[in-house]
Structure 1
Amino acid sequence: MTLHVQPPAILESADTAPDEALSILQNALTGADDGELFLERSELESLVFDDGRLKSAAYDATEGFGLRVVAGETAGYAHANEISGPALRRAADSAALAKAGHAGVAAEAPRATNQVLYEPVDPLASPAFSDKIALLSEIDAWARARDPRVVQVSASLVGERRNIEILRGDGRRVSDLRPLVRMNVSITVEKDGRRESASSGAGGRSGFETWIAPDRWQGQVDEALRQALVNLEAVDCPAGEMDVVLGAGWPGVLLHEAIGHGFEGDFHRKGSSVFSGKLGQRVAAPGVTVVDDGSIAGRRGSLSIDDEGTPTSRTVLIEDGIMVGLMHDRLSARQLGARATGNGRRQSFAHMPMPRMTNTFMEAGTANQAEMIASTKRGLYAANFGGGQVDITNGKFVFQCTEAYLIEDGKITAPVRGATLIGDGATALTKIEMVGDDFAFDPGVGVCGKAGQGVPVGIGQPSLKIGGLTVGGTAV
């Protein structure tokens, strides 16, 4: 059963009257260009079943507000975990220092919307705590019975309910109740003294019911087991420059990190992106179209409104290889004379909003993966990625492959371990030779970090063939 929740409005149940909060905010914003009062109540539950037992069960509840005053390019921000009149007044006095000597004109409020991209459900309430533990125990036992080489299983469930409200100086108030769930399975296998591990997970903005159906969690177990068994047979990866075929779905993390951040408006406002000044220019091979869309129902990176109150939307960043758009919060949009795109995001009330990706993906093309493999004399098929490092200012990246195979004479041969992809996003975009017809989103597990803030995101892409990437390996 899905439990629908309609929580009380935060200001109505806080230790300050809504009229008092509005008066405090209006005084702070007098003479400023923009700003808002952001209020939040959130609950998070995390269960981890490891080594045949419940390893941890954690619950966290937070409440607080952040008050922002924007004057020109300067933003004053103060926050507290007590929503009361005295706390609001102290925060307003601190944030208002940003407008010292500034005489601004209040920016137009975000446009109104009635879009609702997820149901107001409570993942912490349904299923019951005991049922979640029983499910994790069942996953553990089922995974161990799948193959005698399984020596370790870890399974987890994470559910979050986040209730936010945004109050603006004109008295307008908007709210959003945001559910978020994720399940994950990690499996370790052993053969002849060698151990390998792999994991698989899924989630989105919904209750748990979709993700804990037997066919769903059993599919996650089978996928983690498959990858772990592949890695048992992997040989050391050779190093050198070679063509690379990327799988569909999660490998879009390379696109997200190496390219996506360079299209966020704050880096262009500061002129620090490798793509600064290139709007209207070719930045990718023909056939490459990249989109950020936070308005896709139920996706992990989706939001009905962003953390400034702007409705999320579909923003085309690259169209047929031409750079045509950026992701904006309200500040970067105003400074660059553009429209806010609904990409103003913050980790919590303790953080200022900034331009961030939502669901970022490359659209499908017309090639098929079999053609990509057949056309590759010597190369690498990268089916899955782990972590990586990226320099946002120049797009240089190093990504680790968690599942990869050699391509020899147009055929996939041995699985390899220790493969890394090395390059820079701007160059990699121009080396895309084939765009697949098999677009897929990731399963709903992405978290993006920027300036110390982490937010849930979605990624996706079809299979791609990229010519002449540098592959780092472990073969001697």
Structure 2
Amino acid sequence: MQHPPFRPFETALDRDRALLLLQAATLGAEDGELFLERRRSEMLSFDDGRLRTASYDASEGFGLRAVRGEASGYAHSSDISEAAVKRAVETARLAVAEGGGTLALGPQPTNRRLYTDADPLAEAPFALKIDTLREIDAFARELDPRVVQVTASLAASLQEVVILRPDGTLLSDIRPMTRLNVSVIVEENGHRESGSDGGGGRTGLAGRIERSSWEASTREALRIALVNLEAEPAPAGTMDVVLGPGWPGILLHEAVGHGLEGDFNRKGSSAFAGLMGQQVAAKGVTVIDDGTIPDRRGSISFDDEGTPSNRTVLIEDGVLVGYMQDRQNARLMGLSPTGNGRRESHAHPPMPRMTNTCMLGGDTAPADILAGLKDGIYAVGFGGGQVDITNGKFVFSCTEAYRVKNGKVGAPVKGATLIGDGPAAMKQIRAIGNDMALDPGIGNCGKAGQWVPVGVGQPTLLIGGLTVGGAGA
């Protein structure tokens, strides 16, 4: 599969003409921008001993927005031309036709770069990518005769973004992304279980296809599958739960993070609305959203409105101190944007979104936290979940969990689900480990039909009084 060389973002659209059109669209508005995007992506999947999927996609386009008050006019097209932008101006102006607004000051540009601008798709020959996936399949089967199926996938993309502001400021960013994932299914005495592992981030492809990297992921996927093969039915009832570090932060992301996005709080639909400055979590709990961590999946040099990414403290020592903001919601709330205005593509308007959302570590050794658990569950891995943002109620399924009694980690359990609500769970945190870790770089977040890459993280936590759904009593 041959790809065309990736050149600097070139279009038939003249910058000066584009600026005049953008200024016409935002006349009498309070904000707006012209967002141009060019994206290429590749995904290869090796399943059950053969190449199952090899896909390549290329797209480009623009989105033009004019904002006044709560109204926002947005138009987009895959045709980057002056004629298409002129048509977009007519649509965007419908939201600001009455005028009367004054343009807000634009974001301060940044030269900071948090990741490479190299093209990961061109970093390795197509044949080498296929050979890597084939080696993963063979390696997994050699590790254990109980392996009956292996699925390995390799994905890479490169997104180039150009943002033109009404004041003439032009910002550009090149955003790479790579990911490797390995899943295995094992069978013993007619019983099958699965496990998966992988990692990703805004890095080149070389690190993903190194043997040491994919061997580690393959071994971990197999370990999880074998653990689940020995698992007993999970108990059911209200009990204390210890969450492991890293990826279990997805529960924090969903049950708490969305409720701290500016739009939900401005509209009063968040469980945290109106609680600024109040104690919303246990003492010692500090939650941040940090889009400035180099090479991380959720990191961005600047957001999709041009605001530099930021390290935003949301909860400090249990007290609500901040929200994640885009420009529109920040302006309406009389606050400052935090670099969280994100969009899936040029076909989508920006909104407040998380980047890398983490709970900082405490001072308790993880072993001591587990030793203090008298009767409960130790949840290490999570799969899918559902959350109601208005009240924070969540249901999450565990992919790896263990029964704990009198401080001793016992048999693995399967079929465990954790049920609760975010605000209450935050107040029931009884111990915070000193082992804060970030996830391996596999997160995607959905909101209002848009998906963006994100990161999560947390230390080992003890949360009291969660409802565990399971098969046992």
Normalized against structure 1, the TM-score is what?
0.97
Q: Which residue of 1 aligns with 2:171?
A: 174
Picking from 343, 347, 364, the partner of 1:346 is 343
Give 1:211 shift.
Answer: 2.2
1:388 equivalent to 2:385? Answer yes
1:267 equivalent to 2:264? Answer yes
Once residues 306 and 414 of structure 1 are traced to their aligned partners in structure 2, the CA distance between those partners, rounded to angstroms, is 45
Secondary structure of 1:131 counterpart: helix
Once residues 439 and 226 of structure 2 are traced to their aligned partners in structure 1, the CA distance between those partners, rounded to angstroms, is 22
1:234 equivalent to 2:231? Answer yes
1:164 equivalent to 2:161? Answer yes
Deviation string 1:102-129 (CA, Å, 9 cap, x unpaired) is 3100010011211100011111101111
Q: Which residue of 1 aligns with 2:72?
A: 75
Residue pair 2:361, 2:435 contacting (<8 A) in 1 also:
yes
Once residues 128 and 157 of structure 2 are traced to their aligned partners in structure 1, the CA distance between those partners, rounded to angstroms, is 17
For 2:98, the aligned partner's letter is G
Q: Which residue of 2 aligns with 1:435?
A: 432
For 2:287, the aligned partner's letter is V
Deviation string 1:200-223 (CA, Å, 9 cap, x unpaired) is 010100111122221111000011
Picking from 322, 326, 336, the partner of 1:329 is 326
For 1:223, the aligned partner's letter is E
Once residues 45 and 8 of structure 2 are traced to their aligned partners in structure 1, the CA distance between those partners, rounded to angstroms, is 32
Deviation string 1:394-430 (CA, Å, 9 cap, x unpaired) is 1000000000010011101111111000000000000
Residue pair 2:262, 2:326 contacting (<8 A) in 1 also:
yes
1:148 equivalent to 2:112? Answer no
Q: Which residue of 1 aligns with 2:462?
A: 465
Q: Which residue of 2 aligns with 1:124?
A: 121
1:315 equivalent to 2:315? Answer no
Secondary structure of 1:262 counterpart: helix
Secondary structure of 1:86 counterpart: helix
Residue pair 1:6, 1:120 contacting (<8 A) in 2 also:
no
Secondary structure of 2:122 counterpart: coil
Picking from 351, 355, 362, the partner of 1:358 is 355
1:34 equivalent to 2:31? Answer yes
1:86 equivalent to 2:89? Answer no
Q: Which residue of 2 aligns with 1:285?
A: 282
Once residues 419 and 357 of structure 2 are traced to their aligned partners in structure 1, the CA distance between those partners, rounded to angstroms, is 21
Residue pair 2:27, 2:99 contacting (<8 A) in 1 also:
no
Deviation string 1:178-210 (CA, Å, 9 cap, x unpaired) is 000000000000000000011101010011112
Once residues 49 and 469 of structure 1 are traced to their aligned partners in structure 2, the CA distance between those partners, rounded to angstroms, is 39
Secondary structure of 1:67 counterpart: strand
Give 1:16 shift.
Answer: 2.3
Secondary structure of 2:258 counterpart: helix
Once residues 151 and 174 of structure 1 are traced to their aligned partners in structure 2, the CA distance between those partners, rounded to angstroms, is 50
1:258 equivalent to 2:258? Answer no
1:374 equivalent to 2:376? Answer no
Q: Which residue of 1 aligns with 2:130?
A: 133
Picking from 205, 210, 217, the partner of 1:208 is 205
Give 1:475 shift.
Answer: 2.0
Secondary structure of 2:121 counterpart: coil
Once residues 302 and 379 of structure 2 are traced to their aligned partners in structure 1, the CA distance between those partners, rounded to angstroms, is 35
Once residues 23 and 270 of structure 1 are traced to their aligned partners in structure 2, the CA distance between those partners, rounded to angstroms, is 34
Once residues 410 and 314 of structure 1 are traced to their aligned partners in structure 2, the CA distance between those partners, rounded to angstroms, is 36
Once residues 45 and 94 of structure 2 are traced to their aligned partners in structure 1, the CA distance between those partners, rounded to angstroms, is 45
Percent identity, aligned pairs only, is 60
Once residues 313 and 373 of structure 2 are traced to their aligned partners in structure 1, the CA distance between those partners, rounded to angstroms, is 31
For 1:412, the aligned partner's letter is V
1:106 equivalent to 2:106? Answer no
1:189 equivalent to 2:186? Answer yes
For 1:53, the aligned partner's letter is R
Q: Which residue of 2 aligns with 1:444?
A: 441
Give 1:7 shift.
Answer: 5.8
For 2:151, the aligned partner's letter is S
Secondary structure of 2:85 counterpart: helix
Give 1:9 shift.
Answer: 4.9
Q: Which residue of 2 aligns with 1:59?
A: 56
Do the aligned partners of residues 150 and 266 (structure 1) sit closer, same or farther apart at CA in structure 2, a change above 3 Å counting?
same
Q: Which residue of 2 aligns with 1:115?
A: 112
For 1:204, the aligned partner's letter is G
Secondary structure of 1:458 counterpart: strand
Give 1:15 shift.
Answer: 2.3
Give 1:372 shift.
Answer: 1.4
Residue pair 1:16, 1:83 contacting (<8 A) in 2 also:
yes
Normalized against structure 2, the TM-score is what?
0.98
How many residues of Structure 1 are paired with residues of Structure 2 in the alignment?
Answer: 470
Give 1:100 shift.
Answer: 1.8
Q: Which residue of 1 aligns with 2:195?
A: 198
Once residues 36 and 6 of structure 1 are traced to their aligned partners in structure 2, the CA distance between those partners, rounded to angstroms, is 29
Deviation string 1:275-326 (CA, Å, 9 cap, x unpaired) is 0111110000001000000001100000001000000010000001011111
- Unaligned 5+ segments in structure 1 are none
Once residues 164 and 6 of structure 1 are traced to their aligned partners in structure 2, the CA distance between those partners, rounded to angstroms, is 17
Picking from 393, 398, 402, the partner of 2:399 is 402
Deviation string 1:450-471 (CA, Å, 9 cap, x unpaired) is 0000000000000000011110
Deviation string 1:315-344 (CA, Å, 9 cap, x unpaired) is 000001011111000001101111110000
1:37-48 alignment, distance < 5 Å: 37-48=34-45
Once residues 172 and 7 of structure 1 are traced to their aligned partners in structure 2, the CA distance between those partners, rounded to angstroms, is 24
Once residues 317 and 172 of structure 1 are traced to their aligned partners in structure 2, the CA distance between those partners, rounded to angstroms, is 30
Secondary structure of 1:138 counterpart: helix
Give 1:47 shift.
Answer: 0.1
For 1:15, the aligned partner's letter is A
Residue pair 1:308, 1:353 contacting (<8 A) in 2 also:
yes
Once residues 98 and 48 of structure 1 are traced to their aligned partners in structure 2, the CA distance between those partners, rounded to angstroms, is 44
Once residues 102 and 432 of structure 1 are traced to their aligned partners in structure 2, the CA distance between those partners, rounded to angstroms, is 50
